[in-house]
Amino acid sequence: MSAIADIKPVSASDLAALRRAATGREPWRSLDELADTAEFRRFVEAEFPAIAERLPFGLDRRTLLKLMGASLSLAGLTACSEAERIVPYVRQPEDIVPGKPLYYATALSSDGYGIGAVVESHEGRPTKVEGNPDHPASRGATDAIMQAAVLSLFDPERSRTPLRQGEPASYGDFLKDMAKLAGGLAASGGQGLALLIEATTSPTTKAQIGSLKQRYPKLRVFRHDPLAASANEQATAKLFGRPLTPIYHFDRADVIVSLDADFLGEGPGRLAYARDFAQRRRVRKSTDTMNRLYVVESTPTITGAAADHRRAVRPSLVECIAAAIKAALEGGHDAASLPSLGMEYALVDDLREAGRNALVVSGAHQTPFVHAVAFAMNARLGAVGNTLDFIEPPHAMPIDSDLAALCQAITSGSIQSAIVLGSNPLHTAPSDVDVRNAFSKLKLLVHWGLYRDETAFLAQWHIPAAHELESWSDIRAYDGTASIVQPLIQPLFGGRSLHQLLAALGGEFDADMQALVRPTWADMDEAGWRKALRDGVVPNSVTAPVVVSMPADIGDPTPHAPVANRLEVRFEADPWLRDGRNANSPWLQELPRPLSKLVWGNAALISPATAQRLGLENGQMVNLARGGKDLDAPAWIMPGQPDDTVTLSLGFGRKIGSVAALSGGYDAFILRTTEAPWFADGLVLTARDGSARVVTTQHHQAMEGRAIVRHATLDAFRQDPHFVRDGVLPAPTESLYRDWTYDQEAWGMSIDLSACIGCMACVSACQAENNIATVGPDEAARGHEMHWLRIDRYYAGAVDDPDTFFQPVPCMHCEKAPCEAVCPVNATIHTHDGLNAQVYNRCIGTRYCSQNCPYKVRRFNFLEYQEFDKDSAGPQQAVHNPDVTVRSRGVMEKCTYCVQRVAEKRIRAQIENREIADGEVVTACQQACPTQAIIFGDLNRKGSQVSREKAAPHNYALLEELNTRPRTTYLGKITNPNAGIGGKPGTGTGDG
């Protein structure tokens, strides 16, 4: 059988043929499917890639185990009470009951901002991260990076000891050196010393830096955060005289225009914004209303996928388009730009009609002019104070300058010593800043970080950092709300917090972490302090909006005339690895990117038309050059990518860390420069001979020719609320399978496709909850990834700018389950409450169930990805959820509807002599979902939320014509396009 890697790369040489193939055919998943090559047909006919012919087993076990790291005993890990002291089990703490988890509220950092979390702890061992429902930035949701925080905590490759000149040393020796340094600084006022910090919103850090600058007046503080974007602050400083931060209220917006803003996938407020946006997309009856989203973007994003109207344009054109929309809104005429969008003036009419309920959002990576134009349009519409507010920046810090200025100061000799706190400038610096050369001239370089990374190797002193789940600190959310960061466990490897390093610099050596944070909140008494710890939010700490006055003239854009056939480059942070700091996380390496479905590497994204013009194929190596720098990368043809634009993702190409080294891809920082951190023109692309392996889950479990994703416009839904039944044969009523009766609960799930944004949080949460193994790039390339839940991505329409649909697919938990009838050992069974269960210790690996499953939701455990040898036990094993078994090789795995959570709530209800309440059982995927697209509950309970969802007129089951009667059903996707803009189909029920 054909493995995934055997499929011949699709060429865009006959783009016209692909366009014809896409016409009237929806949804489609890839260009390979449209080309309908013989190799692709053989792959589809294989039906289940996991049973493909395997290569001879010769995998080096040491290489395989690199996925989980080296060994280290966990004998010293014990429970802690608020991590103030480690309490040994010879005197067991009163609040610890073995087997019963405790939960602690804290906050995790995202690009320097806080997102509220509730962390589950088993006997002092953090195992699972959930969102804090009381925190404004999470609303109870999480993302993939938050889910992976516990894995990074137990990463055996974290730095474990201080290093002096690369050799192990004691922290006491470091403090002695700091004491000498502090003595010299006191005499010189800090002359010659620089701090390099990351973006942060910590009030304690701000206070400590302020105190240090008072103590050492000549101390200079620089900031380097490669993902920070300051365009909105530059725009507000020019417009209002001081930098401000915009706060958007999507729950109040009827019409939204996004100018290259991925507000659903990027930014510190993304989870809250996704929740507010999705609340206005829920339709259950014909009288319901929806918001409308227009997106102009320079690379495909999940925000663009959620749009009612989307147009892909070069990054440099966004300025002109923004100016044209503003001119039309003000009554002017600029027909040269707006008609090129295909939206004409219908968009402007929508904005005018919505008035103060309209919202124009500018992308963080766009220019200050685009932000200024967006703010001006919001002000003209009356949206400021309703859908848009401005606040003082939560991250405001006493900073002197940036990394480039620091390097200049080192080169000039004014800086002789530097302390790098958290960042890794030797990897993430712009290519036109020679950090290595500058830092090599320092008399003293101190690096503090979680890993011995590129910068640490150059440092005279490297100090291990305490993980954020091991630290006391504080942090502010996107709206200014403060949270206390409290540890779940004492530092495993003796790491120190940022506050301890800053305290040591000020002469306070080896200070207690909590004692450094508590004075910042001295206005709270002990009761208030403990309440802030319990709630995860400091009360009344949200930043109040400020009143602004928009100037009449905002200036003109910088003239930019794109040259025909001249390529532009667009940089974007990888959604999971970010700038590379998470590159050693196998969970994040193996989590498919929402749109490209790439794993374990990146590629240069190009449009089908550009690929045709340049004669490129998927996976073909290309050389990309700009400004005297160049890199080689595999090309990847991406539907919806703007023509003559190449998107490069940051975060890959690192070779430090065994997991990071396993991944493929390129280092995009090579082409990134100070003056063009996010996009630039003048890119030269040269095709090379040969190709590289690009690992993707794009083809996995391909299903075609069936009514898979069903969708309609809002107008079509109002005319026919039962549109999901159009052209679909009624499900059979007869069956050879037995009928089941349920005296107690009957569990079921409903997934709203209108709310799903494809963010992959549910997939990551499922992996963390259910101890799902990662398999590495080689096995992923064979289709052997182990995720119990996948999100299928479909396209409809033209290959140049298609509509995009997401569909989460867990186990359907069929009433008439085809898998149950064929298992020879009764390992696949039906439970008393309607779950399709898998008994692992019965399974003998015949895989008959997977072949008989039409949904392809079962995963066969080919290799022993988990380490069961006690002599090789490592800290990574501590991440396992003790409520879920850790499976060995040779068994079939799949979604269980989080049966362990069902059992836990059932036991609690029985103890309390009551029924399980509606909504009491929450699955891991449901809990993580930022848009609340997943609803789970008891179908036997009248009026339950899941029963109401399934009673909606657009509820349908996947492949219901097979009469499997799934317990998991879907609500058809409903969009709200403007009837005055053509090109949007009314309804659709599948491939056609």
State the Cα–Cα distance between residues 951 and 970, nearest whole angstrom: 11
Structural domain contains residue 490: no
Residues 744, 770 within the same domain = yes
pLDDT of residue 84: 43
Determine the average pLDDT of the residues in 179-197: 91
Residue among 835, 833, 836 at smallest CA distance from 745: 833
Residue among 570, 614, 592 at smallest CA distance from 260: 570
Residues 442, 308 within the same domain = no
Determine the average pLDDT of the residues in 669-695: 94
Lowest mean pLDDT among 329-338, 409-418, 916-925: 329-338
Model pLDDT for residues 208-260, shown as the tens digit of each residue: 999 999 999 999 999 999 999 889 999 999 999 999 999 999 999 999 999 99
Lowest mean pLDDT among 111-125, 463-477, 866-880: 866-880
* Residue found by looking up tokens 């009356």 in the block: 382
Going by pLDDT thresholds of 50, 70 and 90, the confidence category of residue 878 is confident
pLDDT of residue 873: 64
Determine the average pLDDT of the residues in 3-31: 59
> What CATH number did the domain enclosing 198 receive?
3.40.50.740
Q: pLDDT at residue 86 above 70?
A: no
Structural domain contains residue 534: no
Burial state string for 21-46 with b = 16 or more CB within 10 A and e = fewer than 16: bbeebbbbbbbbbbbebeebeebbeb
Instruction: Write the CB contacts of 528 (distance below 8 Å, at least 6 apart in sequence).
Output: 539
Going by pLDDT thresholds of 50, 70 and 90, the confidence category of residue 67 is very low
Structural domain contains residue 815: yes
Residues 350, 411 within the same domain = no
Higher pLDDT, 727 or 966: 966
> What CATH number did the domain enclosing 634 receive?
2.40.40.20
- Most confident range (mean pLDDT) of 675-684, 874-883, 983-992 is 675-684
Among 664, 691, 718, give the residue marking a domain's end.
691
Q: pLDDT at residue 430 above 80?
A: yes
Going by pLDDT thresholds of 50, 70 and 90, the confidence category of residue 702 is very low
Residues 755, 899 within the same domain = yes
Among 360, 391, 422, give the residue marking a domain's end.
391
Structural domain contains residue 789: yes
Instruction: Write the CB contacts of 550 (distance below 8 Å, at least 6 apart in sequence).
Output: 239, 375, 376, 379, 384
Burial of 575 (0-12, 13-18, 19+ CB in 10 A): buried
Structural domain contains residue 989: no
Structural domain contains residue 773: yes
Phi and psi for 211 in degrees, rounded to 5? -65, -40
Residues 362, 412 within the same domain = no
Neighbours of 18 (CB within 10 A): 24
> What CATH number did the domain enclosing 38 receive?
3.30.70.20
Model pLDDT for residues 20-47, shown as the tens digit of each residue: 666 666 666 677 777 777 666 665 555 4
Instruction: Write the CB contacts of 195 (distance below 8 Å, at least 6 apart in sequence).
Output: 209, 212, 219, 220, 221, 222, 418, 419, 421, 505
348 close to 325: Cβ distance less than 8 angstroms = yes
610 close to 575: Cβ distance less than 8 angstroms = no
pLDDT of residue 866: 73
Count structural domains, the chain: 4
Residues 171, 267 within the same domain = no
Residues 862, 906 within the same domain = yes
> What CATH number did the domain enclosing 310 receive?
3.40.228.10
State the Cα–Cα distance between residues 739 and 309, nearest whole angstrom: 46
State the Cα–Cα distance between residues 720 and 716, nearest whole angstrom: 6
Q: pLDDT at residue 89 above 50?
A: no
Residue among 340, 235, 333, 335 at smallest CA distance from 296: 340
Higher pLDDT, 868 or 481: 481
Determine the average pLDDT of the residues in 760-784: 94
Q: What is the mean pLDDT of the chain?
A: 88
Residues 359, 503 within the same domain = no
Model pLDDT for residues 247-272, shown as the tens digit of each residue: 999 999 999 999 999 999 999 999 99
State which amino acid sits at residue 707: A
Q: 573: which strand partners?
A: 650
Higher pLDDT, 81 or 798: 798
Residues 600, 648 within the same domain = yes
Q: Is the peptide bond before 27 cis (omega within 30 degrees of 0)?
A: yes
Residues 502, 579 within the same domain = no
Helix spans in 55-188 (H): 61-65, 144-147, 149-153, 171-188
Q: What percent of the chain has pLDDT over 70?
A: 86
Q: 294: which strand partners?
A: 257, 309
CA-CA-CA-CA torsion sign (602, 598, 592, 877): negative
Q: Which domain holds residue 608?
A: 569-691
pTM here is 0.91
State the Cα–Cα distance between residues 890 and 474, nearest whole angstrom: 46
598 close to 696: Cβ distance less than 8 angstroms = yes
Q: pLDDT at residue 66 above 70?
A: no
Lowest mean pLDDT among 122-126, 371-375, 405-409: 122-126
222 close to 535: Cβ distance less than 8 angstroms = no
Residues 805, 945 within the same domain = yes
pLDDT of residue 340: 59
pLDDT of residue 330: 87
Structural domain contains residue 121: no
- Most confident range (mean pLDDT) of 2-11, 47-56, 645-654, 869-878 is 645-654
Q: pLDDT at residue 407 above 50?
A: yes
Q: pLDDT at residue 82 above 60?
A: no
Q: pLDDT at residue 776 above 80?
A: yes
Structural domain contains residue 240: no
pLDDT of residue 738: 80
Model pLDDT for residues 613-648, shown as the tens digit of each residue: 999 999 999 999 999 999 999 999 999 999 999 999
Among 365, 391, 417, give the residue marking a domain's end.
391
Residues 786, 925 within the same domain = yes
